[in-house]
Chains A and B, each alone.
Chain A
Amino acid sequence: DTEVTQTPKHLVMGMTNKKSLKCEQHMGHRAMYWYKQKAKKPPELMFVYSYEKLSINESVPSRFSPECPNSSLLNLHLHALQPEDSALYLCASSQVVGVGQPQHFGDGTRLSIL
C-alpha cells in the first residue's frame, strides 16, 4: 500500500473544464512533487514544494497551477488543458529535498483530455 494517496484515480475532462488533482501524505515529509508521465517514458518533473513553498517550476504552462495548503496536502489545479496533457500525473514526497532522501510515489491520476 502506498503512503502517498492521490485522488481521483482516473479523470476525463474536456478542454474547457476546471478540475483539481489531490495528493496527501502523513509521513511528516516536508518536500512534495508533481510529475507527469507519458507511456513508455520516465516521469518528468513539474513542480517541487519544500516546506510548503514552491521551489522548482520546470517551466510548466500556466494551465497547470500547483498549491500546497499545508505540509500534508498538495493540489494541482487544471484549466483549459490540451489533448497532449493526457498522461499519468504522479505525486511524490520525501523527508526533505536533500542528499540521501528517496522519494515515495502515489499511485497516480490517469488524466484524459477530450
Chain B
Amino acid sequence: RKEVEQDPGPFNVPEGATVAFNCTYSNSASQSFFWYRQDCRKEPKLLMSVYSSGNEDGRFTAQLNRASQYISLLIRDSKLSDSATYLCVVFTSGTYKYIFGTGTRLKVLA
C-alpha cells in the first residue's frame, strides 16, 4: 500500500459545480497535511495547509479526519481556472519527509 493515495481522476465537472477529492495516508503518526495545485508543466503551488479543525479559504475547504486517516479538499463554484492536478502532501516528523500523493486531475468544463 502506498503511503499517500489519491484517486488519479480525471474528474470532469461543469463550471459552477462542487467537487471533492480525498487523500488517504497510511502512517498514523503523520502530523502535517497540505494541498497543492500543479498546472501542466509548472511547479506545485501551495493551495492550503490542512488544520485539525478544518479550514476554509474562499471557495476551498480542507478537512482532516485522523480516525480514518484521510484529508479532503472541497471546491465550490468551480471555475475553468481550477483545472489542474491537485496533490496532497503529508509530513511525518519521525521520517522528516514530505510524502506526495499521486495527484488528482480536475477538468472544469465550460
Contacts and interface: CB of A to CB of B under 8 A. Distances in A.
Contacts of B89: 103
A78 B45 CA distance: 26
Contacts of B100: 42-43
Contacts of A53: none
Contact of A48 (B46, B93, B96, B102): B96
Interface residues of B, number: 21
Interface string B79-110: 00000000101010100111011110000000
A101 B32 contact: yes
Contacts of A2: 43
Interface string A45-61: 10010000001100000
Nearest to A55: B96
A102 interface: yes
A112 B21 CA distance: 33
A48 B43 CA distance: 18
A104 B46 contact: yes
Interface string B4-48: 000000000000000000000000000110100000011111100
Given A56-B97, A100-B32, A101-B91, 20 more contacts: A2-B43, A33-B98, A42-B87, A42-B100, A42-B101, A42-B103, A43-B44, A45-B98, A48-B96, A88-B41, A90-B43, A98-B93, A99-B91, A100-B49, A102-B32, A102-B34, A103-B89, A105-B45, A107-B42, A108-B43
A106 interface: yes
B102 A45 contact: no
A37 B42 CA distance: 11
